[in-house]
């Protein structure tokens, strides 16, 4: 049992900061949120907040990492609980889109600001992408092993599937300068994603 020592208190503080930051980011975006406001929400001094996080960008990065972790945890649970690989792919595509919206609206970044933090965020994005691919590989391999999918190579198909989903998501931005997605755009994307997934699944399944 963990005692109520300074370590636990510190971890609790960090969790509280992450939660408060996530709420602010989710509502106003990274750019329009200040460390002062987050500290204020926690009835904490700005100095104390800076003790835990050197700047807003590190705090944002931690929030993103937490969201990535939650998404992967959730999707791995689905892989265990959903039996049919077709349903799993559908679930994956929809959950991934929902996660995209959450994460995007956490930043609400202008393209310029996005480019500014890109190199700072790149390693966690790459790590996430690799883990995504692992999960998809498992789904495609499972479908092949059970004879539901056919004529594909699991590894390449996982990559292709990721590319296709990302391509669809990014189609929203061709005319936008703000990385934000509203409900109407989300519904539109969801409809396209569903249409894609139906054709894709039909294309790799035996009837």
Between 77 and 198, CB nearer to a second copy: 198
Between 52 and 188, CB nearer to a second copy: 188
Provide the 3-class DSSP secondary structure of residue 118. Answer: helix
Q: Which residues bind a second copy (CB under 8 A)?
A: 151-152, 156-157, 159-160, 163-164, 166-168, 170-171, 192, 195-196, 198-204, 207
DSSP string, 48-117: HHHHH-SSHHHHHHHHHHHHHHHHHHHHHHHHHH---HHHHHHHHHHHHHHHHHHHHHHH-EEHHHHHHH
| Closest distance to a second copy from the beta carbon of 132 (Å) | 14
| Closest distance to a second copy from the beta carbon of 195 (Å) | 5
The CA distances from residue 160 to 150, 152, 167, 171, in Å, are: 15, 11, 10, 16
| Closest distance to a second copy from the beta carbon of 53 (Å) | 28
Can you read off the two tokens belonging to residue 152?
């594909």
Between 21 and 179, CB nearer to a second copy: 179
Give 110's strand partners: 178
| Closest distance to a second copy from the beta carbon of 59 (Å) | 25
How many angstroms separate the CA atoms of 157 and 205, rounded?
A: 13
| Closest distance to a second copy from the beta carbon of 201 (Å) | 7
Between 82 and 162, CB nearer to a second copy: 162
Can you read off the two tokens belonging to residue 175?
């005319």
Q: What separation, in Å, do the N-terminal and C-terminal C-alpha atoms of the chain show?
A: 54
Between 73 and 174, CB nearer to a second copy: 174
């Amino acid at each position: 049992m963990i005692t109520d020592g300074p370590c636990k208190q510190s971890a609790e503080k960090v969790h509280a900061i992450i939660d408060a930051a996530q709420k602010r980011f989710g509502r106003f975006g990274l750019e329009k949120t200040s460390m002062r406001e987050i500290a204020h929400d926690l009835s904490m001094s700005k100095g104390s907040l800076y003790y835990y996080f050197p700047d807003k960008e590190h705090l944002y990065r931690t929030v993103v990492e937490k969201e990535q972790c939650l998404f992967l945890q959730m999707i791995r649970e689905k892989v265990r609980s959903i039996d049919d690989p077709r349903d799993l792919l559908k679930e994956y595509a929809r959950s991934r889109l929902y996660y995209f919206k959450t994460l995007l609206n956490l930043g609400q970044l202008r393209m310029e600001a996005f480019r500014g933090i890109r190199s700072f965020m790149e390693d966690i994005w790459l790590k996430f992408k690799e883990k995504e691919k692992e999960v998809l590989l498992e789904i495609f391999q499972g479908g092949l092993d059970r004879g539901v999918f056919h004529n594909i190579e699991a590894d390449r198909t996982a990559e292709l599937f990721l590319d296709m989903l990302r391509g669809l998501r990014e189609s929203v931005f061709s005319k936008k300068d703000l990385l934000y997605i509203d409900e109407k755009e989300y519904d539109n994307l969801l409809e396209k994603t569903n249409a894609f997934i139906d054709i894709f699944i039909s294309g790799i399944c035996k009837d």
